[in-house]
Structure 1
Amino acid sequence: MSRLFPGLDFGTTNSTLSLCAPGGAPRLLPVEGEHLTIPSALFFSLEDGHTYFGRQAVFEYVDGAEGRFMRALKSILGSTLMKETTQVGRERMTFEDLIGRFLKHLRQTLERETGEEADRIVLGRPVRFVDESDEADRAAEGQLESAARAQGFRHVEFQFEPVAAALYFESTINAEQLALVVDIGGGTSDFSLLRLSPERARSTDRADDILGTTGVHVGGTDFDRLLNIAKMQPLLGLGSSTADGKRLMPVWYFNDMATWHRINTLYTPKILSDIRALRKEAAEPEKLGRMEHMLTHRSGHRLAGAVERAKIALSDEAETPIALKEPGLALETQVTRAEFEAATAELVARIEGAIGEALALGGIGAEAVNTVILTGGGAQVPAVQMAATRRFPQARIAHADAFGSVGLGLGLDAARRFA
């Protein structure tokens, strides 16, 4: 048997795999060509019958291949959608099956790397899959575990994602410190106060070192959604009225078109018929015509991708375009960082509030925190960085590997648990 043990960070937007030997340093595995991350995306091709994963899935979809594109499946865990099925080609699949299909792909990647059966795994999990319900949160973990077991992982353990990020950071320090981990992922944000030191790192049970842990269901895809609603959905009809001025267009179509994991639910004959009927009543029928195009050509994820790229660009730029251009449709507008921050202020406030809750749970004042560890793609947003760090002016700000630190920490955890 191999003395290398695996950790898997199944993320909302990206996933990683790591291996670690007991007492050794973890390493990320190439999971798509030479890439150490893989977008958490699937494309079921109706042209050749194949299932594509990661960047290849995105390419097939953007290239216009006929099929079904799925992304942000982690966001569905614990929701009512997990009880439903969805049409994929000629078969109906549960969302647990869809998640399992992606986990199976990663398990096969792991087995190619080690040359052995992969039957054990440490999976990362957010502090909260679901904010408002403990029962739904427990169900979400159970659903992810069930999906992993169905694909051959007989021994499944979980570790909080911010704790995993701290475990990896801990391997780089030489003195004890109190750290706050701020992990802004694709679908959730997690915050943990931990005591870290080289001596504590030798222990497999770190429960006493975790002083406070909180989480909110806010992540990078939520920033995408609100930016999309503010800047792009009005071009499709959001906020417009009927020609008689008596009522506005129904909001939910546009909210779903801006939400990564709900876009596919709009692609039904019934909803296309609804939009065509609304177009006949609309004061601005050209806008509903664009929405009709989005549904007919299944362009929702392409628009969401354009919004995501603009969000990322605004981390460095004061202004950037959002554009989607394809045959029969041209959508383009400018967005400033100030507009983006105004549209997403409520999300930043929730993140800042959760940090305060973590401090309160730990009974710790902000001045006692030695290090703030920032990880996750959403931590690159300037307003989020400011919210995460402004109450800790004396602390060291450590920028961990945005997409790799959780996976590396899960590998460390796996070596300690399974060795």
Structure 2
Amino acid sequence: MSPISCGIDFGTSNSSIALADANQVSLVETEAGQYTIPSAMFFLRKDNTAFYGREAMELFLSKRPGRLMRSLKRVLGTPVMRQGTMVNGEVMKFDQIITAFLEKIKTKAELQAGRELEAVTMGRPVHFTDNNPEADRRAEDELKAIANRLGFKSVSFQFEPIAAAFAHENGLTSEKLALVVDLGGGTSDFTVIKLSNKNLRKPDRSSDILANTGIRIGGNDFDKDLSLAAIMPILGYRSTYGVKNLEVPPYHYHDLSEWSKVNMLYTNRIVFQVKQLLFESHDKTKYKRLLQVLEEETGHSLLAATEETKIALTNEEQFQTSFAFLDPELSAEVKRQTFNTAIDGRVQKISQTALECVKNAGTTPDQIELVILTGGTTEVPKVQQQFQNLFPNAEVSGENKLSSVGLGLAYDSRNKFG
């Protein structure tokens, strides 16, 4: 029986797994008809039964009582990873939660392979955490421990943008100097690499990789910027209170704009604080909506509305965002220009990091022949335009944006494990 290994792309927003043997590399159908699965889990309140991916999101959006968890990757390497969290009254460690999620997709892959998988290449961002090598090492160690817990006896890691490059290499007819732009939910990573289909089975690619850099900015940050610019104002963000016309505290709104923090707001103490401030609010109608969200625990519905708006603005110049979960008549018109303005600072930081990668590679933007866009955040029109402007001589490839990293990791696993 020929060796078989796999590659796992555990993403902040979406995940995938691909198999590799001597003859082929193929993605695994992680859900019916789908080769990616949202990195989401939903725990029913009555017994903490876990549901995954799209089913988890559907249960949450249908307002079933329970706890939704997303952006789990962002806790790797942080103190929160060790602290754990309360899930419907039960303390759960994040390593248990992440293990359960990854076990779900590993089981799908083993059913397709017809055997137990023991070798894996795990994807990782260039930096789990910016400017913190200790936290970065800890994050990789935590992910490796989870892989071992899943039954993998051989575990390697590969930078996600390098994996995306491997996935594109098969279709090339000549050598190309490429920049991989991997913009995920939590990080933005870049690699300058020499690509050629002659190198597909080359076990050591270190001489082809000229530079890689990364920054902890991703699509979730774009969601937060859009939320604060266009969504949170309907809850009284930046409104005032009291005789001194002070601005209402912003921190609740910032936490409501992040998947990884919203569950921490549903406490009696925070609800009491908001109730107290409501008496002094100068815009009680809007500020009362904040109280309603906290009391009814519908923060995730706000995040879902933000995400829906961001996706809609990919193809439309404006979108009417509904807040029916607050009031059947409540909606707000959001323009793409508002979104572009909100994310401009982050797009500039992403661009600077990409140019730094090109410089570190000893080349210039006009020498880049191929720009590979991967990750859902590269769908944002402002991002696409930015990279077309930065690299005017390059062909831009955006095929398999959500699954190329998983495929590339499987290619890498075949080269490493046979």
Q: Same fold (TM over 0.5)?
A: yes
Q: Does 1:47 align with 2:43?
A: no
Name the structure 2 match of 1:102.
101
Letter in 1 for 2:174: A
Distance apart, 1:3 and its partner CA: 3.0
202-211 or 325-334, which moves further after superposition? 325-334
In the TM superposition, residue 202 of structure 1 has moved relative to its aligned partner by 2.7
- Measure how far apart 1:90 and its partner are: 3.9
Structure 2, gaps ≥5 residues long: none
Q: Distance in 1 between matches of 2:416 and 2:7?
A: 11
Residue pair 2:178, 2:370 contacting (<8 A) in 1 also: yes
Deviations 1:76-127, CA, capped at 9 Å, x for gaps: 2223322322111342012222211211212222222223222321111111
SS at match of 2:145: helix
Residue identity opposite 1:20 in structure 2 = A
- Deviation larger for 157-166 or 289-298: 289-298
Is residue 180–residue 369 contact of structure 1 (8 Å, CA) maintained in 2?
Answer: yes
Is residue 343 of structure 1 aligned with residue 342 of structure 2? yes
Task: Report the residue type matching 1:128 in the other structure.
Answer: H
CA distance in 1, matches of 2:359, 2:2: 43
Once the two structures are superposed, residues 271-321 of structure 1 have per-residue CA deviations (whole angstroms, 9 ceiling, x without a partner) of 122222221221222222211111122211111111111111111111112
In structure 1, the residue matched to 2:20 is: 20
Aligned 8 A contact 2:5 2:118 in 1: no
8 Å CA contact 1:2, 1:114 repeated in 2:
no
- Alignment partners' CA distance in 2, 1:220 and 1:111: 31
TM-score of the pair, normalised by structure 2 = 0.96
The answer as to whether partners of 2:12 and 2:186 remain within 8 angstroms in 1 is yes
Counterparts of 1:394 and 1:25 in 2: how far apart (Å)?
33
Identity of counterpart residues, as a percentage?
38
- Which runs of structure 2 are paired with 1:213-232 in the superposition (5 Å)? 213-232=212-231
Matches within 5 A, 1:5-404: 5-22=5-22, 24-47=23-46, 49-326=48-325, 331-404=330-403
- Cα distance in 1 for residues equivalent to 2:328 and 2:154: 49
Structure 1 residue runs of 4+, over 6 Å off?
A: none
Does structure 1 retain, via aligned residues, the 8 Å contact 2:292–2:326? no
CA offset at residue 130 of structure 1?
0.9
- After TM superposition, the structure 1 stretch with the greater mean CA deviation from structure 2, 53-62 or 298-307, is 298-307
Conserved 8 A contact 1:355-1:388: no
- 5+ residue gaps, structure 1: none
Q: Distance in 2 between matches of 1:187 and 1:374?
A: 16
Q: Which amino acid aligns with 2:408?
A: G
The separation in 1 between residues aligned to 2:285 and 2:150, in whole angstroms, is: 47
How far apart are the structure 2 equivalents of 1:260 and 1:330?
26
Change (3 A) 1:331 1:128: farther
1:333-385 residue CA offsets vs partner (Å, 9 max, x unmatched): 11111111001001110111011100111010112211111111100111111
Superposition deviation, residue 327 in structure 1: 6.0
| Counterparts of 1:77 and 1:301, CA distance in 2 | 21
Contact 2:19 2:113 in 1 (8 A): no
Q: Which amino acid aligns with 1:5?
A: S
> Any idea what SS the aligned residue of 1:195 has?
strand
SS of aligned partner of 1:295: helix
SS at match of 2:261: helix
Amino acid corresponding to residue 123 of structure 1 in structure 2: M
Letter in 1 for 2:6: P
Question: Over aligned residues, Cα RMSD in angstroms?
Answer: 1.6
Measure the CA separation in 2 of the matches of 1:140 and 1:168. 25
| 1:329 Cα offset (Å) | 6.6
Separation in 1, partners of 2:139, 2:13: 17
Q: Give the paired residue count.
A: 418
Letter in 2 for 1:176: E
